[in-house]
Amino acid sequence: MLSGVGRNDSNAWQHFYDRYKVLVYMCGKRYGFSPMDLDDLLSRVMSKCFTSSVGQGGHAILSYDRSKGRFRDYFCRIVSNEAITMLREMKRRREVPTENSDGKEFDIADENAEASMQKEYRMCLLNEAFQQVKRELPSRQIQAFIAVRMDGVSPKRISQMQNVSLATVYNDITAVTDAMRKIVSQLEEE
Amino acid sequence: MCHLSEFQIQELLSGDCGVFAAWMRRRHLKKCTECSKKADCLKRELDEQCRLGKELKAYQKYSNEASATMRLPRE
């Protein structure tokens, strides 16, 4: 995907945007940004990634050096830096938010920010794995997983609805989970 | 002693078996180390599945909110 982005491939661009948009959103929410500021944060992050960076002679994406660490850490740093820069600019204009979307106060120099960002990144990977699993596994298995583990429907009810045994429902859910775990570990190695 | 099957333990952990069957199985688990270990393992798997489900649900919520508020940056 990153090499595709480097070649200005529009599909790779879209893939990159879809994968990271929500991560930027979650980070912005954590810092208490309004919808307008979230939009601004996304624009700034994407601009940072895709426009020439001074002194490096290319995209931030292209100047990413795999040997220096994982892309996720590199990208998370870009997002955090842009969010903090925006907060500082707001502070100068005395518009800085002091509470996040949950109504909790936050500190710019939050020691847990890095851990929160990693957790949010894992959620993005998990979603990507789930989308892939949805394409690969039978819809019955996916339905069982969504209904039981995401919507809290009892496995017994699903077995009646799908007209399969309860053991099949348990096995279907396990199959979906195993497939997701496998894809997440592959994505994490990328 | 007749051991519990994986399905029987899963049924117990999910609360899908009847009250009497659940009582019998819990009684067995207290006495049988082998089945108890198997149940611990399945409980961890169940918790992991629930965690993944919750995270996906949370992600969907964020994703819907993000789609409603964020647009593609203009080139």
pTM of structure: 0.73
Rounded CA gap, A22 and A100, in Å? 16
B47 has a chain A CB within 8 A of its CB = no
Using a CB-CB cut-off of 8 Å, the residues of chain A touching B14 are 154-155, 170
Using a CB-CB cut-off of 8 Å, the residues of chain B touching A170 are 7, 10, 14
CA distances from A184 to A2, A3, A66, A131, A147 (A): 18, 20, 19, 11, 21
User: B75 lies in a domain?
Assistant: no
Taking Cα atoms as reference points, which of A122, A110, A101, A150 lies closest to residue A23? Answer: A122
The pLDDT of residue A78 is: 85
Q: Provide mean pLDDT across the span A78-106.
A: 73
Closest CA–CA distance from residue A145 to any residue of chain B (Å):
8
The pLDDT of residue A95 is: 62
User: B23 lies in a domain?
Assistant: yes
Closest CA–CA distance from residue A35 to any residue of chain B (Å):
6
Taking Cα atoms as reference points, which of A36, A51, A17, A23 lies closest to residue A86? Answer: A36
ipTM of the complex: 0.84
Q: In total, how many domains does chain B have?
A: 1
User: B74 lies in a domain?
Assistant: no
User: B31 lies in a domain?
Assistant: yes
| pLDDT tens track for B33-51 | 999 999 999 999 999 999 9
The pLDDT of residue A143 is: 95
User: B54 lies in a domain?
Assistant: yes
| Residue ranges making up the domain that contains B63 | 6-69
Whether B70 sits inside 8 A of A25 (CB atoms) is yes
The pLDDT of residue A130 is: 94
Rounded CA gap, A172 and A152, in Å? 16
* DSSP state letters, A89-104: HHHHTT----B-TTS-
